[in-house]
């Protein structure tokens, strides 16, 4: 796929490959580091005036090198900069050492006092490639950053908040809570996966000179589920089209006391553009479902036979099963008939619980030919796929492979 909207997500290994391919094309790593540091400085300059007090905490690797560049540029632009280095300056190597050599200010040991009175804190300790839990002095620094951030300092993370695993979004011991994260070329899974998503703040993607064409050589497999990913395939209805041409959706509801979730799902289908939305519900729920939206076509379904007539409508484009459905025999029958149908299926909530309990439903899911979307939270996923382990991305890929969803 093309990626004009920056939807591709690159894990740390893929980002490292992008850097190498760019270097092979004649753009040095130091040039990329300069561009990254300038991007961080530009982001701060756009939001703060000259004279603002900025504390930059640099780590021993390339993330720290980005921080050295940002500190130099900010100082040149009239900001009051203090820089703290985690580690010894003479032990810096490669591009990070070169970036440090061009910084003319004082390099202090990275410690909480560096943050004193800072209006802005630049977290350049560790980037997306962090592969260990933070402890000791590094963990103390992260905690100090978070205390200062809670007291009002604006925390800007370079690439990804220190302590967040760029591949999984997991916290490696402790993690910085940033107000903004300036990342480069493409976002990382850790920017979107919890708890990294909650720690990254607003994510800004900076162009540092890596050509988009390198994506074709990387073969990335993760993408952000955002409108540009699927907008082009969204059906455009003709002016004279009828309701079924705009899409027919069936939502299966449970009894009156649990029909709220199904009503919300049906309303969302209308909002998304469906031309006609059926709600199949027990007779006791008919009044509340019908009163919720006049546009709903309410189908009383007291038993499996009644639901079978509704789900057999050949013009159905999609079925939503699970929200507020219930986990009784009626619910199990609805899940089974929906899985056996030819329409696309969204299986959620109680539908997932029933599938996890009944092997025949899981078998029907695996043998299903029509498109299927599963929406489990962590607990539901564990019940559905008890033998699947690894990161969230690893588990989702394994589950999709085993079910065809």
In order of their start, the domains of the chain are 8-225 (3.40.50.10260), 241-403 (3.40.1190.20)
How far is the CA of 308 from the CAs of 195, 282, 356, in angstroms? 42, 13, 22
Give the pTM: 0.91
The predicted-structure confidence for 143-158, as pLDDT tens digits, reads as follows 999 999 999 999 999 9
The answer, yes or no, to whether residue 98 has pLDDT greater than 70, is yes
- Please, what sign has the CA dihedral across residues 19, 22, 23, 29? negative
pLDDT the model gives residue 1: 47
- Taking every pair of Cα atoms in the chain, the longest distance, rounded to a whole number of angstroms, is 80
Q: Which residue has the tokens 């709600």?
A: 279
The predicted-structure confidence for 7-46, as pLDDT tens digits, reads as follows 999 999 999 999 999 999 999 999 999 999 999 999 999 9
pLDDT the model gives residue 65: 99
- C-alpha 261/C-alpha 263 separation (Å) is 5
Q: What is the secondary structure of 192-216 as a DSSP string? A: HSTTHHHHH-EEEEEP-S--TTHHH
Question: Which SS3 state, helix, strand or coil, does residue 258 take?
Answer: helix
Taking residues 355-368, what's their average pLDDT? 96
DSSP 259: -
Q: Name the H helices within 120-244.
A: 136-150, 189-192, 196-200, 214-218, 227-230
Phi (first) and psi of residue 115, to 5 degrees: -85, -5
- C-alpha 340/C-alpha 327 separation (Å) is 18
């Amino acid at each position: 796929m093309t990626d004009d909207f920056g939807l591709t997500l690159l894990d740390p290994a893929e980002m490292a490959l992008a850097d190498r391919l760019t270097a092979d094309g004649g753009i040095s790593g130091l040039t990329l580091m300069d561009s990254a540091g300038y991007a961080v400085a530009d982001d701060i300059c756009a939001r703060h005036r000259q004279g603002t007090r900025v504390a930059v905490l640099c780590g021993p690797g390339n993330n720290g090198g980005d921080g050295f560049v940002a500190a130099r540029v900010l100082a040149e632009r009239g900001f009051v900069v203090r820089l703290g280095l985690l580690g010894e300056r003479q032990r810096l190597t490669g591009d990070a050492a070169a970036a440090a050599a061009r910084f003319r200010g004082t390099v202090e040991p990275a410690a909480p006092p560096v943050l004193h009175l800072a209006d802005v804190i630049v977290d350049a300790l560790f980037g997306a490639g962090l592969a260990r839990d933070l402890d000791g002095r590094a963990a103390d620094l992260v905690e100090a950053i978070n205390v200062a951030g809670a007291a009002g300092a604006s925390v800007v993370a370079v690439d990804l908040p220190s302590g967040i695993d760029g591949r999984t979004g997991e916290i490696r011991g402790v993690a910085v809570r940033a107000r903004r994260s300036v990342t480069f070329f493409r976002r990382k899974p850790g920017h979107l996966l919890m708890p990294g998503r909650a720690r990254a703040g607003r994510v800004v993607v900076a162009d540092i000179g890596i050509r988009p064409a390198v994506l074709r050589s990387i073969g990335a497999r993760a993408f952000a589920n955002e409108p540009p990913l699927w907008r082009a395939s969204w059906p455009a209805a003709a002016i004279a089209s009828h309701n079924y041409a705009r899409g027919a959706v069936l939502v299966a509801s449970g009894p009156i006391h649990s029909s709220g979730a199904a009503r919300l799902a049906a309303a969302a289908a209308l909002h998304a553009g469906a031309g006609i939305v059926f709600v199949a519900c027990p007779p006791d729920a008919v009044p509340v479902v019908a009163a919720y939206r006049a546009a709903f076509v309410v189908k009383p379904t007291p038993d499996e036979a009644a639901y079978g007539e509704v789900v057999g409508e050949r013009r159905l484009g999609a079925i939503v099963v699970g929200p507020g459905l219930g986990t009784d025999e009626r619910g199990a029958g609805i899940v089974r008939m929906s899985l056996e149908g030819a329409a696309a299926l969204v299986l959620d909530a109680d539908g997932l619980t029933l599938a996890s309990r009944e092997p025949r439903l899981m078998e029907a899911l695996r043998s299903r030919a029509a498109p299927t979307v599963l929406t489990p939270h962590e607990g539901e996923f564990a019940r559905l796929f008890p033998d699947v382990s690894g990161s969230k991305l690893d588990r989702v890929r394994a589950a999709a492979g085993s079910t065809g969803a």
